[in-house]
């Protein structure tokens, strides 16, 4: 449809998730003149505080964390040239099993239809052509990521949006290389992801869409670096921008809803829409 500006909406759980999993497609879309909308569902209050103070430890002030992470997310959006940042307004639920799961206002505790109705107003406002969120396991089992999937899918159903819908993933074929890079930094993948859930990522033949965003590797790297207070989430920046781009420059997605009939596999989230 020439003349009509396309819109990409990514729905994420916390400040920093936009960079890790979709930084490449956000930067690429912006460079192509696509309007990019980032919806961040929670305030990130269970993140590290200034100086690396852990949630629940003395000196961890959730209000200060929220303020810091808001600024970091705004900086990240500037780097990725995100057109519109929208906060869904929920409190970070923390990792599975934490008391914060059930705190008032937590995303995890909010009924799906309530949060979905909020997101639905944003889908109606922006009429995205493409919507990206996580898979049903939230990629790695974090309650807010699982909830982001449920809320997004419910909001899409509520609005009857005919956007192409994608879930983020990671190619298992890259995992070995990624683990090697971590090992060189003295880290163990097993320490970084919970081991009691399904295996992370997918085999290549189950991935419908590989988007080469390596030309935007520096932007993705910088956007992640903008979340400087979250040392643990951005540990892999220590590998440097070149290695990072080699490992994270091609982003993997699974197309779960489509009305374009664009042939699979694709190399573009907007295949069939341009």
For 253, the enclosing helix (H) or strand (E) is strand 250-257
Q: CB 107 → Zn ion: shortest distance, Å?
A: 11
Q: Cβ-closest residue to Zn ion?
A: 14
Distance CA 143, CA 83 (A): 27
Residue number with CB closer to Zn ion (14 or 227)? 14
Site string for Zn ion, 10-39 (x = CB under 5 A): ---xx--x----------------------
Q: CB 145 → Zn ion: shortest distance, Å?
A: 6
**CB burial class (10 A; 0-12, 13-18, 19+) of residue 73?**
buried
Q: Is 69 in the site for Zn ion (CB under 5 A)?
A: no
CA angle 36, 208, 167 (to 5 degrees): 50
Interacting stretch for Zn ion, rule CB under 5 A, among 5-13, 60-68, 92-100, 244-252?
5-13
Go through the chain and tell me how many residues it has.
274
Residue number with CB closer to Zn ion (110 or 161)? 110
Residue number with CB closer to Zn ion (236 or 270)? 236
Residue number with CB closer to Zn ion (12 or 60)? 12
Measured from the Cβ of residue 198, the count of other Cβ atoms closer than 10 Å reads: 10
> Of 104-143, which residues contact Zn ion (CB under 5 A)?
none
Cα–Cα distances in angstroms (integers) from residue 158 to residues 111, 118, 131, 140, 173, in the given order = 15, 11, 14, 26, 36
Which residues make up the interface to Zn ion (CB under 5 A)? 13-14, 17
């Amino acid at each position: 449809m020439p003349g009509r500006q396309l819109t990409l909406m990514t729905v994420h759980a916390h400040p920093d998730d936009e960079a890790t999993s979709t930084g490449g497609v956000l930067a690429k879309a912006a460079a192509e003149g696509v309007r990019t909308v980032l919806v961040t569902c929670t305030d990130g209050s269970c993140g590290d505080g200034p100086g690396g103070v852990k949630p629940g430890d003395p000196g961890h002030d959730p209000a200060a964390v929220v303020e810091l992470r808001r600024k970091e997310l705004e900086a990240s959006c500037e780097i990725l040239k995100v057109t519109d940042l929208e906060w869904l307004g929920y409190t970070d639920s923390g990792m599975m099993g934490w008391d914060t799961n059930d705190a008032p206002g937590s995303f995890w505790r909010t009924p799906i239809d309530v949060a979905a109705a909020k997101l639905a107003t944003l889908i109606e406002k922006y009429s995205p052509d493409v919507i990206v969120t996580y898979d049903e396991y939230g990629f790695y089992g974090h309650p807010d990521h699982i909830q982001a999937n449920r809320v997004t899918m419910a909001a899409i159903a509520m609005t009857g949006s005919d956007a192409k819908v994608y879930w983020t993933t990671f190619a298992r074929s890259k995992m070995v290389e990624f683990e090697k890079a971590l090992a060189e930094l003295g880290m163990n993948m097993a320490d970084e992801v919970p081991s009691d859930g399904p295996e992370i990522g997918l085999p290549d033949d189950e991935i419908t869409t590989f988007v080469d965003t390596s030309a935007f590797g520096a932007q993705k790297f910088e956007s992640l670096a903008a979340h400087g207070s979250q040392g643990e989430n951005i540990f892999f920046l220590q590998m440097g921008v070149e290695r990072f781009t080699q490992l994270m420059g091609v982003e993997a997605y699974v197309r779960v809803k489509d009305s374009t009939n664009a042939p699979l596999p694709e190399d573009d989230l907007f295949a069939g829409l341009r």
